[in-house]
Structure 1
């Protein structure tokens, strides 16, 4: 469902598996400084294979339950990005949240845009979702461009929305309506 091959120059998207925990830890270590301004403050433990294996176990279980999908962007066997479609709610809401990052050395190549567009298509066509939401820090103009290119619209600003880099920070809120 979420496997996309040859996004660009042999870069593929596929669901993350428990066997990817070592490579995922390496990706986080490699991108620690790059991601620090955009993510929650992380303990040193977060960057270990054991912590990533524990996280992937919960993500694999969530995928089996249909409540989330954790995807890796791969250049060969190297993880160069992570995309999470999470908090999937069924019933009258039919909603999910989207979060993502791309490796510092791969940023600016249009990969995030291509993947977010693919995720939106799957969310609409395969998952039957009505809406996908995402948020960005107010100054994250690159991510805002990605979302707009994928059809998301700005719907507001949430004060002190998430604790990022150790501080409660305001976020712009975006959504894409998939079925009207």
Structure 2
């Protein structure tokens, strides 16, 4: 986790009309995060399961302290309220330069477009600051709100993976969606140091 990377990324933004900002999830967020998870149980089930106890939160935080994982809070710029969370998971370097992205809105701010803006900002952060080339999202076919969100952000549909992830007590089918750095207009960035020359 690199808070400085977010600061550099945010400072370089020219889209002043943004309603949201990003910040890494930290230990000081435990109380607010757990309260928001409790308030969002009906919104999240059966799509996502987030930590709901202090022990689970600490384990979640430890996971996202690793160099191949990032957890970003989406905060409403005017109020500072946490609208949701975007996770960049399983970052793979070398020839792949890819990761998975997952996200969840919190009920008090849901339905206002904050997560669309937050995911778009997280995608730009992944490409411009982390210098990834590709992000993938796996979404259950019945999760219409999430499918609409990735469409708005510019992801393309790549297929269906039967029984891909174990969620809510069963192996669930997921649609695969992806976006690459060449699909959107991003700030010019040098390739990541782990990318081979050829």
RMSD over aligned Cα atoms: 2.2
Q: Which runs of 5+ in 2 are unaligned?
A: 11-15, 184-198
1:101-116 pair list within 5 angstroms: 101-116=104-119
1:30 aligns with 2:30: no
- Aligned partner of residue 105 in structure 1, secondary structure: helix
* TM-score of the two chains, using structure 1 as the length reference: 0.84
Unaligned runs of 5+ in 1: none
What CA distance in whole angstroms lies between the structure 1 residues aligned with 2:127 and 2:165? 27
Matches within 5 A, 1:119-134: 119-134=122-137
2:59 to 42, 54, 61: 54
Q: Which runs of 4+ in 1 moved over 2 A?
A: 1-8, 73-80
Q: Decide whether the 8 Å contact of 2:21 with 2:118 is kept in 1.
A: no
Select the structure of larger CA radius of gyration: 2
Q: Determine the structure 2 residue equivalent to 1:156.
A: 159
Evaluate the alpha carbon distance shift between residue 58 and residue 24 of structure 1 in structure 2; reply closer, same or farther with a 3 A threshold.
same
Contact 1:83-1:100 within 8 A present in 2 as well: yes
- Superposed, 1:91-106 pairs within 5 Å as 91-106=94-109
- How many residues end up aligned between the 2 structures? 170
2:179 pairs with 159, 162, 176, which one?
176
TM-score, with structure 2 as normaliser: 0.77
Please state how far the C-alpha of 1:51 moved relative to its aligned partner: 2.0
